[in-house]
Homo-oligomer: A and B are copies of this chain.
Amino acid sequence: MAREAEVRLRGQLSRLRSLPLLRGARLSGELERLQKQLERIVEEPSDEEIWRSVELARNPDRPYALDYVERLLEDWFELHGDRQHGDDAAVVAGLGRFRGRTVVLIGNQKGRDVKERTKRNFGMAYPEGYGKAMRAMELADRHGFPLLTLIDIPGAYPGVTAEQHGQGGAIARSQSLMARLRVPTVACIIGEGGSGGAIATALADRVLMQENAMYTVISPEGCAAILWRDAGEAKKAAAAFKPDAGHCLELGVVDAVVPEPEGGAQTDFDDAARLLGDALAESLEMLDGMSGEELRQQRRVRFRTIGQVSAAP
């Protein structure tokens, strides 16, 4: 697979190199990053390296969505509530000015201290949270504001009320709404990209992933409990299903990896924010000038073709 990815990335590289560098520095930055990512890919990470990225993705000192909001957006105005029956603190949504233009931002939000963690349910969204997110998406669509989503969720909440309020359907409808949006959308996994809770807000035109984030169909512990019949085998499970940024890039699941400060995003919030901001801005720039119809068609093709199997000859 690393082989295929190499071929794909090399193709991308040569295409980028051949482009007249109309937009200057930004695009050439993208080129440089592709080059670096390519270098990283050719050597397979060890099981230990994969586990280290799992630990970093979950590091409680890591910047959360609102830490980035504070550093990247001006005139932030937070939206609250799903207009149905609640305001889910595990999902934040709002309007702000990002490098000169108004955007809508949706993020998963964990808490810093015990009290906030409880209030925010450790970042595990309820259906009310997806409801708030969908409302924010509709606002973005109505006004032509680009949509940014920052994903950092261990997973949907395994609770009775969450089921009674229909979290399966809510996750489906949130994706369905994203598939219909006529505005540029960029998602970035900034910590844990856990399963349905993550994909609910990740059906975007461009999907980025921070260097030390993880993106999984199930938690390593959950996977180990089912397949190894022992949650303690999480490290083995992680090594088997490869949730790290490098592999997600290889598999074509994310479009680019966003660098973090040496040692991880938790070491320098400002620098992490700057790097994330640059990547988001670059992605938005790539989408500039596309019509709403083009955007949504291209977005659907993207997800229609990821990891596509073809008929045996």
Q: Per-residue 0/1 for A167-188: is the Cβ within 8 Å of any B Cβ (1 yes, 0 no)?
A: 0010001000000000000000
* Other-chain residue from B83, B165, B173 in contact with A85 (beta carbon distance below 8 A): B165
Interface string of A103-133 (1 = CB under 8 A from B): 0000000000000000000000001000100
Copies of the chain in the assembly = 2
Taken together as a complex, chains A and B put the C-alpha atoms of A127 and B86 apart, in Å, by 14
Bound CA span A219–B84, Å: 27
Q: Is A60 an interface residue (CB 8 A)?
A: no
Q: Is A164 an interface residue (CB 8 A)?
A: yes
A83 to B167, alpha carbons, bound, how many Å?
10
Q: Which residues of B contact A164 (CB under 8 A)?
A: 85
A84 touches B83 (CB 8 A): no
- Which A residues contact B (CB, under 8 angstroms)? 83-85, 127, 131, 164-166, 169, 173
Chain B residues near A131: list those with CB within 8 A.
84
**Neighbouring B residues of A173 by C-beta, 8 Å:** 83
A156: shortest Cβ distance to chain B, in Å?
Answer: 16
Smallest distance from the beta carbon of A133 to chain B beta carbons, Å? 14
Task: Tell me how far the C-beta of A252 lies from the nearest C-beta in chain B, rounded to whole angstroms.
Answer: 32
Option from B84, B166, B169 in Cβ contact (under 8 Å) with A165: B84
User: Which residues from chain B contact A165 at a C-beta distance below 8 Å?
Assistant: 84-85
Residue of B nearest to A166 (CB): B83
Give the CA-CA distance A84 to B127 in the complex, in Å. Answer: 8
A165 to B164 Cα, complex, angstroms: 16
* Residues of chain B lying within 8 A (CB to CB) of residue A169: 83
Give complex CA distance A166, B173 in Å: 21
**For residue A166, which residues in chain B have a CB less than 8 angstroms away from its CB?**
83-85
Q: Which residues of B contact A127 (CB under 8 A)?
A: 84
Q: Quote the shortest CB–CB distance from A241 to chain B (angstroms).
A: 32
Which residues on B sit within 8 Å (CB–CB) of A85?
84-85, 164-166
Separation of A173 and B138 alpha carbons in the complex (Å)? 13
Task: Pull 13 A–B residue pairs with CB atoms less than 8 Å apart, ordered by A.
Answer: A83-B166, A83-B169, A83-B173, A84-B84, A84-B85, A84-B127, A84-B131, A84-B165, A84-B166, A85-B85, A85-B164, A85-B165, A85-B166
